[in-house]
Every structure is written in structure tokens, then in C-alpha cells.
Structure 1
Amino acid sequence: MTTILMFVLSYLLGSIPSGVWIGKKFYNTDIREYGSGNTGTTNTFRVLGVKAGIAVLAADVLKGTLGASLPYFFNSDLNPMVVGLGAILGHTYPLFAHFKGGKAVATSAGVLLAYNPPFFIYCILVFGVLLYFTRMVSLSSMTALVLITISTLFIQDWVLTIIAFILTIFITYRHRDNITRIKNGTESKVPFGFRYKKE
């Protein structure tokens, strides 16, 4: 019963559509009607700007962290990564936003932060390096997930490895439109990074 309760609470936390709520409350804008139509961090940065993007990024990471931390609050032996999956599903298919959410990269990072902070820092560094050179959030996210999944083999945490592998497939699937744009050379790029000044 406690396991079900934790998973439901985790899902509800993940279902908080921070991008939609912040956009409507402070910018009178529904970000689902602009840019990629996505409710996550990247589209918020693109549509509403840096301040809103940072706020949504923090909120989306926090959702994952809180969701994965529930076993600590309930004194449960259940692996936090497993409970954190509820928050990831909630972010992707949010109850409070007609089940149309983001791509779960930031929320997945939040889950990892609650479970293994040192490895979280390593993953952020990997993502940061990739983003600097590719200048594409989508490509950096998908590539980082592959590298991170491989990296988990060296710390011999099989639960983390299995969940990382599942998330790699799931999040890559969620980026299928981005993959098409990458192939067509039309994917959006961030305004910084390698060779940015030369463009």
C-alpha cells in the first residue's frame, strides 16, 4: 500500500506543469501554443526567455528530486529511482495538463540528484560538454543518455543501469520530431557554444 501511495504522489508531483503555469501566471502566455509546443524547459527558454526558463528548469528538476525522495520520507527500502519513475511519467503525461507534457530530461536529472548526487554532477558535466559542441539541447540530451547508461556499468549499480537504459529509449522516442529536424538541418540551436560567433 505504501509503495502505491509513493508512486501516486510521485506521479502527482511530476504532473505539475510548471512551464504552463509560469507562462500563464507571469507572462499571460500558454507556451503550448508557441515554439515546439512542448511544456518543458527548452521551449520555455525559447518562448519566454532566460528567467522563465531557469524557473521552469529548477521546478522540473525539483519535481524529480522530491518524487524520488519519497522513500526517505516514508522510511521505505524501495529504490528511489523506481519511485522517481512516477515523477517522470507525471511530467511526460501530466494529469493537470491533459496528459501532454515535456520530454522528461530535467525531471529525470532530478530523480538522479536524489539518488546519487556525485553521479548527477558527472552527468551534468557530460551534458554541458555535449551542449557546448553541438549547440542542440535535443542531440546533447540523447547522446548524454547513451554515454550515461554506459557509464553506469562501471559503478555496478544494476538498478540504475536498467532504468537509465529504459529512459534512454523512452526519451529518445520522445525526441522523434527533433531527430527529424536534426536530419533536415533545421533543429534549433542555443545562442552560445562552439563556433557560435562565426555564424
Structure 2
Amino acid sequence: MEGIIIGGMFLAAYLIGALPTAVWVGQAYYGIDVREHGSGNAGATNTFRVLGKKPGAVVMLVDIFKGWTATSLAGFLLIFEAIPADQVVIYKIILGTLAVIGHVFPVYVGFKGGKGVATLMGMVLAVQTEVALICLAIFIVVLIAFKYVSLGSMLAAVAFPLLLLLPQFHPEEPLLMVFGVLIALLVIFTHRKNIGRLMHGVESKISFSGRKS
């Protein structure tokens, strides 16, 4: 019985993460598939770039909520006594990872999604709220100051494991530190093209004045 419950939650986490927010918002309100414009990704960054700040903000918030919701399903596993209490963090990481995979490879729209940074942020909020809020603040400050979503995403991701080194945030579960390092490496890897564009000064900036053409 426990196996069925756990498997059901795993599937639910993937399906929640796979909800193609950027694609649905673009098609429903603008008649545009964001994957056919800009970077071709179905994520918040490209929505900002293609449609502007309001739809971009909506997509980002929903994608963060997707990650948080999927990760928080670990609480139901605990309620149903499908897992022991000392394994909640481990299952949060598994469920959140499945949500991120769902965002990157969404079953609803041909497995072509985004980079998963916003969904990953929601996952981190559910796993380590205090550190995640600091990382979110770093992202917002960098975005406002430099107007580069990619730069904000990378700096926030790198900040996560560094903050975990501080005594007040150091996790009891060693896996969380490993997870933090992997997050930073993954985000940097998925933004390798952005790094090149930043170095050459050709990375697209986000407009806060409305929709971009």
C-alpha cells in the first residue's frame, strides 16, 4: 500500500511540474507559442522576453508554486505513514526533482519545456525556506539592477549552497548540501549559452516597460 501511495505522489509531482504555464498563457492571451520566439524555451525567462513583464511575472509565480506544491506532497506521505519522519527531506528532494523534470520535459506539450529555474526555486522554498527566500531576494535585486534573468538565476543558485555553509543554515541532513551543490551546477550548465552571450555583451535584457517585440 505504501508503495502505491509513494508512486502516486511521484506521478502527481511530475504532472504538476509539467503544467506548461508559459505555453498556455501565451496561447490563451496572446495567440503566441513562446517556444517559437526568443530562446525557444517555455519558461518564465522567455515569457518575460517575448510577452513582457506582466505575463512573465504570472508565469514565474505559477512555476514557483508548481515546484512548492509538488515538493510539499511529502507531507501527505507522512500523513499516510508511507514514509518515516526522518526521510521527509529526502522525499521532498525526490518529489521536487520530479517536478523540475516535468517542467523541462512536459508531457502535455510534446516534452518541450523550459529550464526549470522557477520550479526549482519553488522546490527549494519547500525544502529550505529561509535560504530560498534570501536566494529569491538576490535574484530580484540582480534582475532589477541588471535586467538579466539568466544572471539573477545563476547567482541565486550559487548562493544557495554557500548560504548552507553558514552555521545558522547548516543542514542536519547531509543530502541537502549535496543537493545545493548539484542545483548550482545544474543551473550553470543549463545557462551555458547565456554565459557566452553575457561575456560577449549580447544577452537579451528584460523590459519592464511592457511587451517586447
**If the length of structure 2 is used for normalisation, what is the TM-score?**
0.83
Which residue of structure 2 aligns with residue 177 of structure 1? Answer: 193
Of 100, 104, 110 in structure 1, the residue corresponding to residue 112 of structure 2 is: 100
Q: Distance in 1 between matches of 2:98 and 2:196?
A: 28
Identity score, percent: 39
| TM-align CA RMSD | 1.7
Which residue of structure 2 aligns with residue 12 of structure 1? Answer: 15
Which residue of structure 2 aligns with residue 196 of structure 1? Answer: none
Q: Are residue 142 (structure 1) and residue 145 (structure 2) matched?
A: no
Which residue of structure 2 aligns with residue 189 of structure 1? Answer: 205
Q: Which amino acid aligns with 1:166?
A: L
User: Quick check: 1:44–1:52 contact (8 Å CA) kept in 2?
Assistant: yes
User: Quick check: 1:130–1:144 contact (8 Å CA) kept in 2?
Assistant: no
Which residue of structure 1 aligns with residue 39 of structure 2? Answer: 36
User: Quick check: 1:61–1:107 contact (8 Å CA) kept in 2?
Assistant: yes
Deviation at 1:44, TM superposition (A): 0.8
Which residue of structure 2 aligns with residue 63 of structure 1? Answer: 66
1:102–1:168 distance in 2 versus 1, CA, 3 Å? same
Unpaired stretches in structure 2, ≥5 consecutive residues: 209-213
Deviation at 1:135, TM superposition (A): 2.8
User: Quick check: 2:131–2:163 contact (8 Å CA) kept in 1?
Assistant: no
Deviation at 1:94, TM superposition (A): 1.4
1:136–1:51 distance in 2 versus 1, CA, 3 Å? closer
User: Quick check: 2:21–2:62 contact (8 Å CA) kept in 1?
Assistant: yes
Q: Deviations over 1:113-168 (max 9, x none)?
A: 22232222211122223334433111221122112211112222133221121121
Q: Distance in 1 between matches of 2:205 and 2:182?
A: 27
Deviation at 1:27, TM superposition (A): 1.3
User: Quick check: 1:17–1:94 contact (8 Å CA) kept in 2?
Assistant: yes
Which residue of structure 2 aligns with residue 81 of structure 1? Answer: 93
Q: Are residue 159 (structure 1) and residue 159 (structure 2) matched?
A: no
Q: Distance in 2 between matches of 1:71 and 1:142?
A: 27
Runs of at least 4 residues of structure 1 off by over 3 A?
Answer: none
Secondary structure, aligned partner of 1:74: helix
Deviation at 1:96, TM superposition (A): 1.6
Which residue of structure 1 aligns with residue 121 of structure 2? Answer: 109
Higher RCO (Cα < 8 Å, 6 or more apart): 2
User: Quick check: 2:148–2:206 contact (8 Å CA) kept in 1?
Assistant: yes
Secondary structure, aligned partner of 2:165: helix
Give the number of equivalent residue pairs. Answer: 192
Q: Distance in 1 between matches of 2:145 and 2:29?
A: 33
Q: Distance in 2 between matches of 1:132 and 1:48?
A: 18
User: Quick check: 1:61–1:106 contact (8 Å CA) kept in 2?
Assistant: yes
Deviation at 1:13, TM superposition (A): 0.7
Q: Distance in 2 between matches of 1:189 and 1:23?
A: 19
Deviation at 1:21, TM superposition (A): 1.0
